[in-house]
Amino acid sequence: MKAFSNFNLREYNSYRLSAVCRNAYFPECDEDIRTLFSDPNAKKIVLGGGYNIILSQDYYDADFVVFSGTYNNISLVGEDKVLCQAGVDMKELSEFALANELTGLEIYYDIPSSLGGAVVMNAGAGGEDIKALLIEVYYYDPNTDTFNTISVSDINFEYRNSFFQKNPEMIVCRALLQLKTGNADEIKAKMDKTKEARWAKQPREFPNAGSVFKRPPGRFVGPMIDELGLKGFAVGGAKVSEKHSGFIINYADAKGSDILSLISSVKAKVQDAFGVDLEVEQRVI
């Protein structure tokens, strides 16, 4: 396994915040996972691709385990199933599916996520989600020091929620996905179309971590923020995106604390004006 001391996580969080941690570990196999997590008292902070996190501190006197760039094997099982490890980047997984003329993963060409993060959060967009493709997930339970398999029906997926969110000590190791045989041109066309539509609406030119808030029941976040005239509202180097007000962008060397102050301010204004208590979707670390 790769291990680094005093490691700057800037390249491992999509806001590109500078945050140094005491140690960063990049597991490469199941035994590395057991070594890292078998002692429940030795707390570690888990990151996938770092696309949905806010690193609120400049320094962490803590150990991070990063599932990105390693533990990222993908293999075809039979004709139309794919087995992949937690560190697989979903974009690469969608490209693997295309190369094998398999359909189902096209939207993940542009949903920033590791496979592990996608399972934990039930990643998706436009009405599609990962739940629909999953057969089963293999995970590590530090309470019992065992690797277990859970079938999709037992994961209890909900909107941005799952068994793994409710049990954050469980480590997602691998997932088996069911795809369908497709036509390469059609798969590629859907990948390109999804990407184009998302880039047109989202501020992909700046570091960001997707939607800041969950959709409150029966409402959208963007229109409320727009109505309050908060597009472009900034704290330090962090700003409510002018392109999509459900996003915060790092436009000028923001700190995690800038993002948190901006979130508090937006939350308070939305609460005052609409009586809606916005729930932050991104993980504050």
Ligand X SMILES: NC(=O)C1=CN([C@@H]2O[C@H](COP(=O)(O)OP(=O)(O)OC[C@H]3O[C@@H](n4cnc5c(N)ncnc54)[C@H](OP(=O)(O)O)[C@@H]3O)[C@@H](O)[C@H]2O)C=CC1
Give the binding site for ligand EPU (CB under 6 A): 125-126, 201, 210-211, 214-215, 220-223, 226, 244-246, 281
121's enclosing H/E stretch is: helix 115-121
Half-sphere exposure of 156 (CA within 13 A, CB side): 7
Give the pairing type, strands 20-26 and 59-66: parallel
Active-site residue, 215 included: no
From 92-100, 114-122, 236-244, 261-269, span contacting ligand X (CB under 6 A): 114-122
Q: CB 255: neighbour CB atoms within 10 A?
A: 21
Q: Which does 222 bind (CB under 5 to 8 A by kind): ligand EPU, ligand X, none?
A: ligand EPU
Give min distance, CB of 85 to ligand EPU, in A.
23
Alpha-carbon distance of 62 to 24, in angstroms, equals 9
Alpha-carbon distance of 19 to 261, in angstroms, equals 17
From 167-175, 214-222, 251-259, 265-273, span contacting ligand X (CB under 6 A): 167-175
Question: How far is CA 283 from its chain centroid?
Answer: 9
Q: Which amino acid is at 179?
A: L
Active-site residue, 79 included: no
- 3-class SS at 233? coil
Site for ligand X in 33-52 (CB under 6 A): 46-52
From 96-104, 165-173, 174-182, 266-274, span contacting ligand X (CB under 6 A): 165-173
First to last CA, the chain: 24
Q: Which does 172 bind (CB under 5 to 8 A by kind): ligand EPU, ligand X, none?
A: ligand X
Give min distance, CB of 243 to ligand EPU, in A.
7
Would you count residue 133 as binding ligand X (CB under 6 A)? no
Active-site residue, 281 included: yes
Nearer CB in complex with ligand EPU: 14/70: 14
Whether the CB-CB separation of 17 and 255 falls below 8 Å is answered with yes
Nearer CB in complex with ligand X: 80/129: 129
Q: Which tokens is 281 given? A: 């979707």
Output phi, psi for 185, to 5 deg.
-65, -40
Q: Which amino acid is at 225?
A: I
Query: Which residues lie closer than 8 Å to 192 by C-beta, 6 or more apart?
Result: none
Alpha-carbon distance of 132 to 123, in angstroms, equals 11
Cross-strand pairs, 8: 20
Write the binding mask 190 to 209 for ligand X: x where contact by CB under 6 A, - elsewhere: -------------------x
Nearer CB in complex with ligand EPU: 174/283: 283
Nearer CB in complex with ligand X: 158/272: 158
Marked catalytic residue, from 14, 114, 162, 211: 211
Q: Which does 92 bind (CB under 5 to 8 A by kind): ligand X, ligand EPU, none?
A: none
Residues that bind ligand X (CB under 6 A): 46-53, 67, 86, 111-114, 116-118, 120-121, 123, 125, 164, 168, 171-172, 209-210, 283
Residues with active-site annotation? 160, 211, 281
